[in-house]
Structure 1
Amino acid sequence: MPTELTVRGSHTAFQRPERGTVHVTLSLQGPKPQPVYDRVVADLEAVTASVKQLHDPERGPVTWWSTKHVRTWAERPWNQDGKQLPLVHHAAVGVEVKFRDFAALGRWVSQHVAVTPGFTLDGVVWALTAANRQDLERAVRTRAVQDAARRAQEYADALGLGTVRPVAVADAGMLGNGLHAAGGSGPAPYLRMAAAKEGGGSTELELAPEDIEVSAQVDARFVAE
């Protein structure tokens, strides 16, 4: 009677990112709504003008960008003595800019941190291009299957059995038999969000791209005589 072996194979690869998407918020506040709104709109026009000078979908350094709608709201804050203060008016707008040239990304951010009031860098999402992401994903899945086959054969060899033969392969957790689905709470594959670090009062920002980690797990069932 053949012996059944169920194993989980895995593989992880790392690759340098190819794109960095800057997430920026332009926001100001003040006692009157119109001046706050007008200043944020003016800052937005200045920021988008600088982006348009760099934008080229094929060659970069900016390959894509977008802006949100300007939001306005007001609040009446409280001081430490429990007294309600006059209204404070706010205006804010989000901007996203995708760079393929990371040196240009750093220069652009540093420029606006220095001269644009209310410019806040929320973070940078490092990513791969769609084509290379698919290639890397395919390679990692292949290596995960190969790892499962190696594990199964090692078990068979330890039991003095012959060559194993695959009978089922599935994403992790789909074969049952007490194996739990793979999961995690980390960033999505192919994307990493990294906040900029500002040091020593300088406008030079540390924007070091992090390697993209791509992992795959598969469950496989083999039989050996």
Structure 2
Amino acid sequence: MGLVTVDGMIAGGWSRVLRAQSVEITVELTEEPTPGSGPRSRPRLRGTGSSAGSSRPWSVERWARAPSADGWRRGRRSRQTPRMTRIAVEGQATRTHPAERGTVNLHVAFSGTLRNDVVEQVARTHTILVEQVKAHVSTGAAERWDADSVHSYVYDDRVKNSQTGGKQRIRRFRASARLSVTFRDFEVLSTWLADVMDADGVEVDRITWNLTDETRKALLAEARIEAAEETAVRAQSYADALGLGPVAPVAIFEAGLRGGGNGGGGHTPMYAMRAGMMSDGDGAQVELQPRDIDADVTLSADYEAGAPAEG
């Protein structure tokens, strides 16, 4: 069978289809072809197929019309791409470290029928606590503190009238101010809390345990490496089970960054910091011993693996 050419139009220009035996090549032209026009030498078709019915693949050299007036230029050689299998896996890692900082959150509050009295009580108690906190910061036992100014509001309270037996409305005022302190020295923290919880009008809301920024970053760096290594090990295990060759990484995603609903939700943080926190309510039931903090990392990754190498 000889070379057959078929001319046609494609988007943005002209094309010429060359057919010979079991091979078909489409060439994009820069100008409209004329009957009988073509390259000075026909496209060379090389391969092991010898007839139109051959199912063996051809290796083809493509030709295309060059912008120059007198010729054709050779394009890149097309080859069959080996089929690859994609493997998606997840990796997790955790690093644990004792708490290094304890942050106390408390507030001072008083209420009564006279606004000036309750505001003065809150301001006086709050000032005493702030002075104590500043002293702990100056000695290095505490790292930093933060306080809000005094806020007050009015509300109506209904109480039983002892004479009439009914309910009567009483106008009352409430004032409060918050204070937050971060301690380095947990023994000083424990002693200070024992004094604070005995003071009138002071309520401890919670204690949160945390790490320094330097420790947290170091733990997360180690956890990221371990999580990434786990994805590689898991991907290769799947490839081995399927009789495939070595895996190669294609993409890696921190939690929440993979599209399409895989590899974690959009609101999942890349890492989580977990630690014990003190209970709300009665100070006598507060657990002051800090718990260890976990730094967790979750990753998802895509790998590709092909057939094992021969020999």
Q: Give TM class, smaller chain.
A: 0.7 to 0.9
**Given residue 94 of structure 1, which amino acid in structure 2 is its aligned partner?**
R
Q: For 1:86-113, what per-residue CA distance to the aligned partner results, in whole angstroms no more than 9, with x for missing partners?
A: 1111110000000011111111111111
Residue in 2 aligned with 1:99? 183
| 1:78 aligned partner | 158
Match of 1:215 among 267, 272, 296: 296
* Pair 1:35-2:117 in alignment: yes
Counterpart for residue 47 of structure 1:
129
Q: Is the 8 A contact 2:205 2:281 kept in 1?
A: no
CA distance in 2: counterparts of 1:180 and 1:28, whole angstroms: 50
Q: CA deviation at 1:52?
A: 1.7
2:121 partner letter: R
Match of residue 207 from structure 2: 124
**Within the alignment, does 1:9 sit opposite 2:84 as a pair?**
no
**Which secondary structure state, in structure 2, belongs to the residue aligned with residue 221 of structure 1?**
strand
Whether 1:157 aligns to 2:240 is yes
Q: Distance in 2 between matches of 1:82 and 1:176?
A: 64
Q: Measure the CA separation in 1 of the matches of 2:93 and 2:266.
A: 14
- TM-score, normalised to structure 1, is 0.86
User: Post-superposition shift, 1:68?
Assistant: 0.3
Q: Match of 1:110?
A: 194
Greater helix fraction, Structure 1 or Structure 2: 1
Greater RCO structure (CA 8 Å; 6+ sep): 1
Cα RMSD over matched residues? 2.7
Alignment of 1:117-196 (within 5 A): 117-176=200-259, 179-182=262-265, 189-190=272-273, 192=275, 194-196=277-279
In structure 2, the CA distance between the partners of 1:82 and 1:13, relative to structure 1 (3 Å rule), is farther
Residue identity opposite 1:221 in structure 2 = D
Q: Tell me, yes or no, if structure 1 residue 64 matches structure 2 residue 144.
A: yes
Relative to 1, partners in 2 of residues 1:82 and 1:211: Cα closer, same or farther, differing over 3 Å? farther
2: CA distance, partners of 1:145 / 1:29: 56
Gaps in structure 1 of 5+ consecutive residues: none
- 8 Å Cα contact 1:54/1:61 also seen in 2: yes
* Greater Rg over alpha carbons, structure: 2
Tell me if the contact between 2:257 and 2:266 (Cα under 8 Å) persists in the aligned partners.
Answer: no
**2:255, 2:299 within 8 Å by CA — same for their partners in 1?**
yes
The 3 A distance-change label for structure 1 pair 61 and 121 is same
* Number of residue pairs matched by the alignment: 219
Query: Offset of 1:47 from its aligned partner?
Result: 0.6
C-alpha distance after superposition, 1:32-84 (max 9, x if no partner):
1111111111101111111122113xx72111011101000110023478834
Tell me, what secondary structure is at the counterpart of 2:169? Answer: coil
Q: Identity over the aligned pairs, expressed in percent? A: 30
Could you say which residue in structure 1 is the equivalent of 2:171? 87
Give the structure 2 partner of residue 18 of structure 1. 100
The letter of the residue matching 2:295 is V
Contact 1:128 1:190 in 2 (8 A): no
How far is the alpha carbon of 1:28 from its aligned partner? 0.8
Gaps of 5+ in 2: 1-82, 307-311
Equivalent residue number for residue 309 of structure 2: none
Sort the Cα spacing of 1:198 and 1:208 in 2 relative to 1 into closer, same or farther, 3 A: farther
- SS state at 2:291 partner: coil
The residue type equivalent to 2:200 in the other structure is: P
SS in 1 for 2:128: helix
User: Does the residue aligned with 1:195 lie in a helix, a strand or coil?
Assistant: coil
